[in-house]
Amino acid sequence: MSTEISVFSLYKKIIKNYYNHNNFVVFKKPYDKKIFFYSHYDYSLGVKFFLIQNFKHDHTIKIYPKNIYTVDIQKFYKKTNIFPSFWEKNSSFLTDSCKYKKLIKDAIENIKKGFLKKVVLSRFIKIPFRNFYFKNTFIKLIHAYPNALISLWYNFHYGFWMGCSPELLIECHNKKLKISALAGTIWGSKKWTKKETEEHKIVIKYILHLLKSYKGSIHIENTKIIKIGHLKHLETLIHFSFYEEPNYYEILNCLHPTPSICGYPKKKSLDFIYKNEGYERQFYTGYIGIVHQNDMELYLNLRCVKIKEDKKEMILYAGSGITVDSNIYQEYMETENKIKNILSQLVFK
């Protein structure tokens, strides 16, 4: 059960938990009309919690709420004006990245030698800030990306993270499973090529191979195009009905990281990332979402920004999937456009 509260009450709860160094999360699920607020109270309270897992699976945050609060989105809109974003004021902020382009080149060479089929390489940029509008940025994200999980969470050790993820990692309920295979990106007037379709097929094959270990029936939806801002992605939804209740945590641990954020084969692509990417992804490309007993609704933590209030610094992340057909400049521009998508929603004084 949840309790509906006013926008003002939500602000008060956020501020109170922040100053008390208490974990909390504010989020809106895709196409939902409610904003949810969880603040951590007690691990012994029950079975429903908000799960936050990092990429390497060595840091886990669980937010067990005493009460779940909601705010109607329409009330939020009435209270909020949309302000100009960082990107609208600083359209020439992004610069070239020779290091990232060299990393792509090295990956393509490894793929051509047969060591890998695909590897997802990411990079980050840091931007300084003075006065950041959490509220107005959050509402801009809700307005701009209705088909994404919009989240803002806080942990005393890891700070603030904000994101707008289009990719459902896993949804489980009553012996039914849904997974989104999302890979392949274009923008503007670009046309779909073999590179994007082959990259997408790798993710589908990986998921289907995993599900072969279980008894049940499978349904694969037709591949469709989804839009997140000015970017377009290929998405295929995969449904599985189990004959017997499985261990969903076992499936989750085998599934993540998928080739859409890591590569294929998994171990070799992970080794390449750890040895060459040159930084810790932390919670970027991890997963976040709700767990309630055997039910899960988890999303990959993508299009996200880490906000360091103490240092007045933000870290933005983006990645691209590298295959044998990759073009170095186009892969770099994919990350550039993904970062621009995030920057376009950040609101400052």
The pLDDT tens digits for 195-204 are 999 999 999 9
Structural domain includes residue 348 = no
pLDDT at 43 exceeding the cut of 90? no
Q: Note the helical H segments in 80-193.
A: 86-89, 98-112, 134-144
Record the pTM: 0.94
309 within a domain of the structure (yes/no): yes
90 versus 77: which is more confidently predicted? 77
Mean residue pLDDT of the chain comes to 92
User: Considering the domain boundaries, does residue 53 fall inside one?
Assistant: yes
pLDDT digits 0-9 by tens, 160-193: 999 999 999 999 999 999 999 999 999 988 999 9
State the pLDDT at residue 92. 44
The verdict on residue 288 lying in a domain is: yes
Q: Per-residue pLDDT for 310 more than 90?
A: no
pLDDT of residue 42: 80
Closest CA to 16 of 48, 36, 41: 41
Closest by CA to 233, choosing from 182, 192, 305, 294, is: 182
In a domain, 61, yes or no: yes
Q: Are 45 and 64 in contact (CB under 8 A)?
A: yes
* pLDDT average, residue stretch 287-304: 96
C-alpha neighbours within 13 Å on the C-beta side of residue 93: 19
CATH number at residue 299: 3.60.120.10
349 assigned to some structural domain? no
Q: What is the Cα–Cα distance from 87 to 339, expressed in whole angstroms? A: 10
The answer, yes or no, to whether residue 90 has pLDDT greater than 70, is no
Domain of residue 102, residue span: 2-343
Please indicate, yes or no, if residue 25 is contained in any of the structural domains.
yes
Residue 97: its pLDDT value, please? 82
Mean pLDDT of 25-37: 96
Q: What total of structural domains would you count in the chain? A: 1
Distance of alpha carbon 331 from alpha carbon 15, whole angstroms? 40
Name the residue with higher pLDDT: 133 or 44: 133
% of the chain residues with pLDDT over 70: 93
